[in-house]
Amino acid sequence: MNTVPLAPSITVFKGDRSKLENKVNLLERIQPAYFKGEVEKIFKKSWLPITSTAELPEPGSFIVVEVPPLKASILVVRGSDGEVRAFYNICRHRANKLEMSERGVKKSFACEFHGWNFSTRGKLVGVTDETQFVGLDKNEYGLIAVHCEVWETFVFINFDDKPSQSLKDWLGVMYNGYQGFFDTREQIAHWSIKVKANWHVTINAFTEGYHSLFLHKATLPDYQGGNDNPMRHRPFLEIMEHHGRYSAKANPLHKMTPVEKLCYEAGRLMYPAFPHIDTSAPDFPTSVNPGRVENWAFDITELFPCFVLINGVNWHQCMWFWPIDENHTEIRVIDYAYRAKTIGDHLSHSYFRVRNREVFREDISTMEAIHASLKTGVMGQVVLSQQEMLLQKHYSVAKEMMEHTE
Q: What is the pLDDT of residues 205-218, one digit of tens each?
A: 999 999 999 999 98
Judge whether 311 lies within some domain. yes
Question: Both 235 and 348 in a single domain?
Answer: yes
Judge whether 177 lies within some domain. no
Task: Please choose, from the candidates 155, 189, 146, the residue with its C-alpha nearest in 3D space to the C-alpha of residue 78.
Answer: 155
CATH number at residue 114: 2.102.10.10
Dist. CA 91–CA 120, nearest whole Å? 13
Question: Both 300 and 357 in a single domain?
Answer: yes
Question: Both 198 and 126 in a single domain?
Answer: no
Mean pLDDT across 134-153 = 97
Name the helix (H) or strand (E) containing 259. Answer: helix 258-266
Question: Both 268 and 320 in a single domain?
Answer: yes
Judge whether 172 lies within some domain. no
115 conformational bin, left if phi > 0, alpha if psi -120 to 50, beta if neither: left
Kindly list the distances between the CA atom of residue 358 and the CA atoms of 199, 216, 218, in Å, as whole numbers in the listed order. Answer: 21, 9, 10
The total domain count for the chain is 2
Question: Both 271 and 206 in a single domain?
Answer: yes
Dist. CA 204–CA 367, nearest whole Å? 9
* Structure confidence at residue 3 (pLDDT): 47
Question: Both 118 and 233 in a single domain?
Answer: no
Label the pairing between strands 103-105 and 84-88.
unpaired
The beta-strand segments (E) located in 92-223 are 103-105, 108-110, 117-119, 124-126, 145-151, 154-158, 185-195
Question: Both 361 and 212 in a single domain?
Answer: yes
Q: What is the pLDDT of residues 269-291, one digit of tens each?
A: 999 999 998 888 888 999 999 99
Q: Is the pLDDT of residue 132 over 50?
A: yes
Question: Both 243 and 316 in a single domain?
Answer: yes
Name the helix (H) or strand (E) containing 51. Answer: strand 48-52
Question: Both 72 and 203 in a single domain?
Answer: no
Mean pLDDT of the chain: 95
* Structure confidence at residue 279 (pLDDT): 85
CATH number at residue 290: 3.90.380.10
* Structure confidence at residue 406 (pLDDT): 62
Name the helix (H) or strand (E) containing 325. Answer: strand 315-325
Question: Both 270 and 359 in a single domain?
Answer: yes
- If pLDDT is split at 50, 70 and 90, which confidence band does 1 have? very low
- If pLDDT is split at 50, 70 and 90, which confidence band does 227 have? confident
Q: What's the domain range around 344?
A: 12-45+182-403
